[in-house]
């Protein structure tokens, strides 16, 4: 329900801001734990007939995230962490198959995807905060929030043409365009607003002021649709029930996963 979404957002927003502007070490631990929960939720969005043990999927995701926590940037450490995750998951699948699990090979593919999507791609949320700073992180992620919120309200008010009828029937092209316009306007104004508050940040080129919010607005909805692809495959509405009105952790960070990578490439 809408009122639940609003209440959770009002409570969670100050906590999130405090976390972003707090110590990088604390931020890293909390984000890593959230990504592990999302990986656990993802495991329950895969067909039961192919699932590997949940502990293996979470452990496989934890290895590249550990590399992020140590290095705070992509590099050899991250490649090593992912490589160890893949090598560790293979024997789990082999043992599962020998014990009669005929879908173990498909389960291995899902598990490796989880390690990449949440452990590597999700880890860019950590790298972005560590390398670009708190204001840059807040700029990127708040732009995604504005995009998502305005797409929702514009779509409800004026939406007529479905964007993705099978994956997300309630999304419309009108909502998508409304979200893009709002996100670009907000994203372009954000650095100036921060400077107006007296913060020692905001010296961003006009090219970046335009390209960052535009890229986020156009591409991060694919993260939402990607999650819908998995949810539709098992016939569930939400990835979890941790956040009233919002669903699970994966439901909340589906677009953020894309935002972390895009913002890192453009800002670091």
DSSP the chain: -HHHHHHHHHHHHHHHHHHHTS-HHHHHHHHHHHHHHHHHHHHTTS-TTTPPPHHHHHHHHHHHHHHHHHHSSSSHHHHHHHHHHHHHHHHHHHHHHHTT-TTHHHHHHHHHHHIIIIIIITTHHHHHHHHH-HHHHHHHHHHHHHHHHHHHHHHHHH--SEEETTTEEEEEHHHHHHHHHHHHHHHHHHHHHHHHTT-S-----HHHHHHHHHHHHHHTHHHHHHHHHHHHHHT-S-S-SSBTTTB-HHHHHHHHHHHHHHHHHHH-
pLDDT in tens, 103-126: 999 999 999 999 999 999 999 999
Q: What is the mean pLDDT of residues 66-76?
A: 96
Residue 1 pLDDT exceeds 70: no
With tokens 């590997």, the residue in question is 52
pLDDT for 202-249, tens place per residue?
A: 889 999 999 999 999 999 999 999 999 999 888 888 887 766 556 789
Residue 9 has pLDDT above 90, yes or no: no
Q: What is the mean pLDDT of the chain?
A: 93
pLDDT of residue 76: 95
Least confident of 4-13, 164-173, 179-188, 233-242: 4-13
- At residue 251, does pLDDT exceed 80? yes
Question: What is the pLDDT averaged over residues 85-110?
Answer: 97
> Is the pLDDT confidence value at 23 over 90?
yes
Q: Provide the token pair at 89.
A: 């998951």
Confidence of residue 198 (pLDDT cuts 50, 70, 90): confident
pLDDT at 151 over 60: yes
7 pLDDT above the threshold of 80? no
Mean pLDDT value of segment 126-148: 97
The tokens for 239 are: 């990835």
Residue range 81-92: mean pLDDT, rounded = 98
Distance of CA 155 to the CA centre of its chain: 22
- Check if the beta carbon of residue 82 is closer than 8 Å to that of residue 119: yes
């Amino acid at each position: 329900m809408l009122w639940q979404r609003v209440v959770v957002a009002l409570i969670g927003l100050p906590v999130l801001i405090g976390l972003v502007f707090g110590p990088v070490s604390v931020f890293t631990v909390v984000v890593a734990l959230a990504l592990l929960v999302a990986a656990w939720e993802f495991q329950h969005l895969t067909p039961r007939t192919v699932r590997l043990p949940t502990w293996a999927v979470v452990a496989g995701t934890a290895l590249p995230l550990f590399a992020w926590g140590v290095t705070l940037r992509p590099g050899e450490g991250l490649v090593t962490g992912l490589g160890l995750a893949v090598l560790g998951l293979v024997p789990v699948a082999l043992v599962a198959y020998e014990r009669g699990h005929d879908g173990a090979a498909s389960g291995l593919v899902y598990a490796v995807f989880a390690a990449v999507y949440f452990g590597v791609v999700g880890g860019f949320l950590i790298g972005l905060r560590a390398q670009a700073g708190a204001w840059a992180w807040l700029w990127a992620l708040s732009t995604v929030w504005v995009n998502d919120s305005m797409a929702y309200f514009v779509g409800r008010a004026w939406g007529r043409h479905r964007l993705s009828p099978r994956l997300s029937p309630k999304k419309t092209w009108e909502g998508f365009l409304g979200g893009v316009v709002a996100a670009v306007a907000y994203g372009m104004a954000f650095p100036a607003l921060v400077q107006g508050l007296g913060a020692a940040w905001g010296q961003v080129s006009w090219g970046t002021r335009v390209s960052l919010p535009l890229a986020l607005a156009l591409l991060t909805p694919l993260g939402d649709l990607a999650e819908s692809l998995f949810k539709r495959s098992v016939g569930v509405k939400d990835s979890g029930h941790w956040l009233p009105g919002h669903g699970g952790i994966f439901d909340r960070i589906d677009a953020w996963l894309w935002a972390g990578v895009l913002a890192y490439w453009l800002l670091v």
